[in-house]
């Protein structure tokens, strides 16, 4: 019965495409941990017959994270996450997602308020070079 369902609603090409998205999963630059976790979980749910063992899903998610997010995960793990058991690693990733709403990205990239006479570095360098040249 389940094979008939899978054959009808999940063609081999659709399954292959979903499995590729899972295997080559990466965190999009600037995206939050919780958004990344939810997107990964959505992929796993969309292809629930992926056949991947839990250790591989944990490794795939972890390896797809940005360097900064991986560093945060490792710090939360008290060291390298991959040194934990599969279940401990999975539980930590899940707990971080549950408590992620407490993290704030607003202070990480404060909005720059424009100054009255703001000049970029290149323009400032040109002005200085012109001033030096006019002295000779």
Would you say residue 71 lies in a domain?
Answer: yes
CB proximity list for 127: less than 8 A, separation 6 or greater: 119
For residue 82, what are the contacts with CB-CB under 8 A and spacing of at least 6? Answer: 59, 62, 89
Q: Does residue 98 sit within a domain?
A: yes
The 10 Å Cβ neighbour count of residue 40 is 22
**What pLDDT digit, counting tens, does each position of 54-98 carry?**
998 999 999 999 999 999 999 999 999 999 999 999 999 999 998
Q: For residue 120, is it within any domain?
A: no
Confidence of residue 105 (pLDDT cuts 50, 70, 90): low
Measured CA to CA, the distance from residue 61 to residue 63 in angstroms comes to 6
Quick check: is 79 in a domain? yes
In a domain, 116, yes or no: no
Average pLDDT over residues 13-31: 85
Q: 94 lies in which domain range?
A: 8-104
Tell me how many domains the chain contains.
1
pTM for the model: 0.65
Residue 13 located in a structural domain: yes
Q: Are 86 and 54 in contact (CB under 8 A)?
A: yes
Residue 33 lies in a domain: yes
Q: Does residue 63 lie within any of the structural domains?
A: yes
């Amino acid at each position: 019965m389940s094979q008939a369902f899978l054959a009808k609603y999940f063609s081999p090409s659709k399954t292959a495409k979903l499995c590729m998205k899972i295997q080559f999963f990466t965190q999009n630059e600037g995206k939050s941990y919780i958004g990344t976790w939810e997107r990964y979980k959505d992929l796993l749910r969309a292809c629930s017959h992926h056949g991947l063992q839990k250790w591989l899903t944990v490794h795939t998610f972890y390896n797809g994270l940005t360097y900064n997010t991986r560093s945060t995960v490792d710090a939360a793990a008290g060291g390298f996450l991959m040194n934990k058991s599969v279940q401990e690693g999975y539980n930590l990733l899940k707990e971080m997602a549950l408590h992620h709403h407490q993290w704030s990205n607003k202070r990480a990239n404060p909005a720059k308020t424009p100054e009255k006479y703001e000049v970029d570095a290149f323009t400032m360098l040109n002005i200085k070079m012109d001033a030096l040249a006019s002295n000779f």
